[in-house]
Structure 1
């Protein structure tokens, strides 16, 4: 099941979705293209990315 990131920008439509439950990575897709391709990130890499976002490493 796909879920929208809580850090996505709802007003501009710039949203990503992630899917849980995969052992070999975290699938990520563009919510505007639900039938388009998904990128699969290694779990550790995705966790590092999410931590960096939470700590403001990517200014808006």
Structure 2
């Protein structure tokens, strides 16, 4: 006797399913400014804004 497993045939979607928008920032991109995964990375690539810390530190030291 042979056991057969029946699997239902599901139609393939006509439009490719897109992943939801990433919620977390990419740690590699944040640290290095580039990510080896590029557009296929599952995380957000957010460029850091220049900070004004150097100007604030200079006024604190005076």
Higher helix share: 2
Structure number with greater CO (CA < 8 Å, separation at least 6) is 2
> TM (normalized to structure 1)?
0.19
Higher strand share: 1
Which of the two has higher C-alpha Rg?
Answer: 2
